[in-house]
Amino acid sequence: MSVWVDLQGQGPVVEQLRRAAQSSNPTHAWLLTGPPGSGRSNAALAFAAALVCEREQLAERGCGVCKACHTTLAGTNADVTFIATEKTTITIEEARELVRKAHDSPSSSRWRVMIVGDADRMAERTTNVLLKAIEEPPPRTIWILCAPSPADVLVTIRSRCRTLTLRLPPVEDVAALLVRRDGIEPALALHAARAAQSHIGIARRLASDAGARERRDTIVRLPFSLRDVSAAVRAAGNLLELAQAEAGSSNEERDIAEKAKLLRDLGAPETGTLPPPMRAQVRALEEDQKRRSKRSVTDQLDRALTDLLSFYRDVLVLQLAAQGGPGVVPCEGSVELVNEPLRDHLAEFAARGRPEATLARMDAINAVRRRLTTTNVSPLLALEAMAVSLL
């Protein structure tokens, strides 16, 4: 089975990466871009697996069955380093460690592959640490950077990389992947893929977690409850609580397990006060966990706002269809919606407003998404202001 099999709807990108992996002298630095859910990290790992594949025949590299391919896709290949961050940014210390590893010779493969999964989450001074290593890498080292768009990476880095752009795969392709890879029932897979707007990771979670589907449905129905300022403020609080609950459920057990492992590794006493050096390491772990928790809440809020945006996207589509907007066939029943089960309610909502007002509401949601990810604004205050603007 080929390493490329799970890259749905990315034919042109896969073809270029396959040709590069089969070359005796591939480009030394790559930048893979595309919207969230397009599979940037999966493409980077598949490319790395093809580069270090054990097959001697060029045309067979990326076989997906040899040990090198398996260990790369599993994240355990010694010659492939993958770094991403669950905190706000990749630190300068982590970047320096990457540069150090990049100068190590491959232990058993043709190439040493360095993958930066969150190249957009580096401060300028951190990115500059990588600049020299990417500009003049050791002879057998290949860099792969991933980011949402070329603009998210410093131009000095971007100019030294070959850029490939992935797209969101069609809903049908995502559904087929869930059926084939995860054994999801076809109707549920199609519903999840459409609700996730082709984001493969989100679609898998929605298909396998009934609680996640319920939380999303609550978020999407939020505009129906916006009748006055008091209702808007309550809705904003509920939205934040949903995001915090989603983030907390995924982090709590992990935090406890990490702390217990650290104490075991340090040989900490079961009772009594920890020695100062141990306390310092525990504090450092707790600080990292707090930063991770903050990013988790921000990421969950962004996802919640994306789901909320899908409501107004559907409303806008219905309004334009009813008016015979540019490029839209004026037949509401033929328009495909993200939130298809709510079609009747959405049509009623759409009939009470105009496209201009819907666009203004979408702009308000996108503005809050930007503020939450680029400033230190209070999430609750930002959400309250947004909710009031949606009235």
- DSSP secondary structure, 272-338, as one string: SPPPHHHHHHHHHHHHHHHHHHHHHHHHHHHHHHHHHHHHHHHHHHHHHHHHT-TT--S-GGGS--T
Mean pLDDT value across residues 184-210: 92
The model scores a pTM over 0.75: yes
Pick the residue with more confidence: 15 or 281? Answer: 15
- What DSSP designation does 59 have? G
CB-CB contact of 120 with 152 (8 Å) = yes
Q: In what order do the strands lie in the sheet with 141-147?
A: 80-83, 112-116, 141-147, 29-33, 162-165
Kindly report, residue by residue over 206-258, the tens digit of the pLDDT: 999 898 899 899 999 999 999 999 999 999 999 998 888 777 666 666 777 77
Q: Which of 224, 195, 210, 153 is nearest to 304 (CA)?
A: 195
SS3 state of residue 111: coil
The Cα 138–Cα 157 span in angstroms is 17
| pLDDT for the residue numbered 325 | 52
Cα 348 off chain centre by: 33
pLDDT in tens, 291-320: 777 778 888 899 999 999 999 999 999 999
* Among candidate residues 77, 171, 89, 154, the one with its CA nearest the CA of residue 115: 77
Instruction: Extract the tokens encoding 390.
Output: 């949606």
| Predicted local distance difference test score (pLDDT) of residue 211 | 86
Mean pLDDT over the full length of the chain: 88
Residue 112 binned pLDDT confidence (cut-offs 50, 70, 90): very high
Residue 381, pLDDT > 60, answer yes
Q: What beta strand segments (E) does the chain contain?
A: 29-33, 80-83, 112-116, 141-147, 162-165
Q: How many CB atoms lie within 10 A of CB 4?
A: 22
pLDDT tier at 101, thresholds 50, 70, 90: very high
Greater confidence, 38 or 330? Answer: 38
Mean pLDDT of 342-358: 94
Rounded Cα gap, residues 34 and 149, in angstroms: 6
- 283, pLDDT greater than 50: yes
Is 70 exceeded by the pLDDT of residue 7? Answer: yes
pLDDT of 22 strictly over 70: yes
Provide the pLDDT for residue 252. Answer: 67
Please, are residues 1 and 64 in contact by the beta-carbon 8 Å criterion?
yes
Quickly state the pLDDT bin for 62 (edges 50, 70, 90).
Answer: very high
**What radius of gyration, in Å, describes the C-alpha atoms of the chain?**
23
Q: What number is the average pLDDT over the span 133-158?
A: 90
pLDDT beyond 50 at 332? no
Residue 232 vs residues 244, 354, 363, 386: alpha-carbon distances, Å:
19, 20, 17, 9
Would you say 373 and 331 are in contact if contact means Cβ atoms under 8 Å apart? no
